[in-house]
């Protein structure tokens, strides 16, 4: 069936294991972030097998998916709860990230009703300018949490390179760590000092002190093996755990048209140069199914444009017929959309099984494995 997303759980398990081990040596634990796969329980299970004992997601609907699949480990909600969903947050999450006093008060009331204690992690604004409490306001939030029943301060968190594309440096991370000392004057030691996401890995792997940071929330590095700031592959990680496979529905040479607007796909410039826009291929895949801009196509194939239901490619290869399959690499955004799309089937495989390359041996980037399956030419 196409379109489908092929998910290699073995590679996700290995990526997780690599990161968990490398960061443990630095005194940092990993929260496995499942939002890009919409809380897919099989992917979360692979993260757990890779050594993660804490999961994190931005949406309560994804958390519910994990819970109904029987996943019982602590899960953190890493987006500030909507006031309308606090009961579900208290019911399903060990802790949530918070930036608003009213929401914390709602959580407190809900936890009291449920007879629970909900963990509050205060998200601090460290320059990303998305969600976060300004550092000079932090003291007020700490004492609010201390005075409210049903909630307990579990820690603090920071975001880097989410909205602003700035990766954290030693100075920013030291400033974040220093906040802990001030908080602990009036509060018991913090359990979680969560320094950020995959964008923090260059800082985490570098030599030098990690201060009080003892947690990173990792999504992209585990799933795609890439650094979200540079887009570069991270040494030691698989970059091909996900492949999006689409089927050809038309393959023709078209002449006499002013070409449509070309999408800026990874490597498309290079490929267009090589192929000289010979044959045109249409895939039964469109912007409803994924972010076509975030796909990586096999060598010799480049994207010309995409609409809601069609993706138009050009190729130097003339063997494509309707029914042929093209296997693409995905960016974080393309992955997220594909995992959300109703018509994209999910196919799970384990590392070691034949995966990716069928038909022509194609060389893409060193660690990627993107393939083309040519349908037999009939007649």
Ligand X SMILES: *Cc1c(COP(=O)(O)O)cnc(C)c1O
Give the interface with ligand X as residue ranges (CB under 6 A). Answer: 33, 35, 58, 78, 159, 197-199, 217-221, 228
Shortest-Cβ-distance residue relative to ligand X:
219
- Nearer to ligand X by Cβ, of 73 and 109: the residue is 73
Do 56 and 94 form a contact (C-beta atoms < 8 A)?
no
Three-state secondary-structure class, residue 122:
strand
* Of residues 233, 333, 239, the one with CA closest to residue 291: 333
- Nearer to ligand X by Cβ, of 31 and 324: the residue is 31
Nearest-angstrom CA–CA distance, 125 and 120: 16
> What DSSP state is assigned to residue 374?
P
Q: How far is the CB of 120 from ligand X (least distance, A)?
A: 15
- Nearer to ligand X by Cβ, of 23 and 245: the residue is 23
- Nearer to ligand X by Cβ, of 19 and 372: the residue is 19
Nearest-angstrom CA–CA distance, 338 and 336: 6
Token pair in block for residue 166: 């700035």
> What separation, in Å, do the N-terminal and C-terminal C-alpha atoms of the chain show?
24
Nearest-angstrom CA–CA distance, 321 and 338: 24
Angle formed at CA 290 by CA 286 and CA 296, multiple of 5 degrees: 95
Nearest-angstrom CA–CA distance, 60 and 139: 28
Q: How many CA atoms lie within 13 A of 38 on its CB side?
A: 12
- Nearer to ligand X by Cβ, of 15 and 368: the residue is 15
Report the interhelical angle of 9-24 vs 41-49 (nearest 10°): 40
Q: Which residue(s) pair with 96 in the sheet?
A: 77, 120
Q: Which residue(s) pair with 54 in the sheet?
A: 31
- Nearer to ligand X by Cβ, of 51 and 286: the residue is 51
- Nearer to ligand X by Cβ, of 234 and 341: the residue is 234
Do 168 and 140 form a contact (C-beta atoms < 8 A)?
no
- Nearer to ligand X by Cβ, of 212 and 271: the residue is 212
């Amino acid at each position: 069936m196409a379109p489908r997303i092929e998910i290699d759980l073995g590679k996700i398990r290995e990526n997780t294991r690599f990161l968990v081990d490398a960061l443990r040596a630095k005194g940092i634990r990993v929260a496995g972030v499942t939002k890009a796969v919409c809380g897919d329980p099989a992917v979360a299970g692979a993260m757990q097998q890779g050594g993660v004992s804490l999961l994190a997601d931005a949406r309560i609907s994804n958390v519910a998916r994990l819970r109904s699949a029987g996943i019982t480990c602590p899960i953190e909600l890493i987006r500030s709860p909507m006031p309308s969903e606090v009961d579900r947050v208290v019911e399903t999450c060990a802790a949530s990230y918070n930036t608003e006093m009213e929401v914390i008060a709602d959580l407190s009331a809900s936890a009291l009703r449920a007879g629970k204690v909900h963990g509050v992690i205060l998200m601090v604004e460290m320059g990303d300018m998305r969600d976060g409490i300004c550092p000079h306001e932090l003291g007020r939030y700490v004492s609010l949490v201390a005075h409210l029943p049903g909630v307990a301060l579990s820690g603090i968190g920071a975001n880097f390179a989410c909205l602003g594309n700035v990766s954290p440096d030693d100075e920013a991370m030291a400033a974040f760590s220093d906040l802990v000392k001030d908080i602990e004057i009036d509060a018991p030691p913090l359990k979680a000092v969560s320094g950020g996401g995959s964008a923090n890995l260059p800082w985490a792997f570098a030599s030098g002190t990690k201060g009080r940071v003892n947690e990173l929330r990792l999504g992209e590095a585990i799933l795609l093996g890439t650094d979200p700031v540079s887009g570069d592959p991270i040494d030691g990680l698989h970059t091909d755990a996900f492949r999006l496979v689409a089927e050809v529905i038309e393959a023709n040479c078209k002449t006499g048209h002013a070409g449509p607007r070309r999408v800026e796909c990874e490597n498309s410039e290079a490929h267009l140069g090589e192929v000289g826009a010979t044959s045109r291929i249409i895939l039964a895949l469109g912007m409803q199914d994924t972010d076509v801009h975030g796909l990586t196509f096999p060598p010799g194939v480049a994207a010309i444009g995409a609409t809601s239901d069609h993706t138009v490619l050009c190729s130097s290869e003339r063997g494509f017929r309707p029914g042929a399959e093209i296997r693409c690499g995905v960016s974080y955004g393309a992955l997220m959309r594909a995992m959300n799309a109703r018509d994209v089937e999910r196919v799970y495989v384990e590392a070691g099984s034949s995966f990716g390359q069928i038909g022509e041996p194609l060389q893409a980037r060193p660690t990627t494995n993107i393939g083309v399956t040519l349908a037999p030419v009939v007649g």
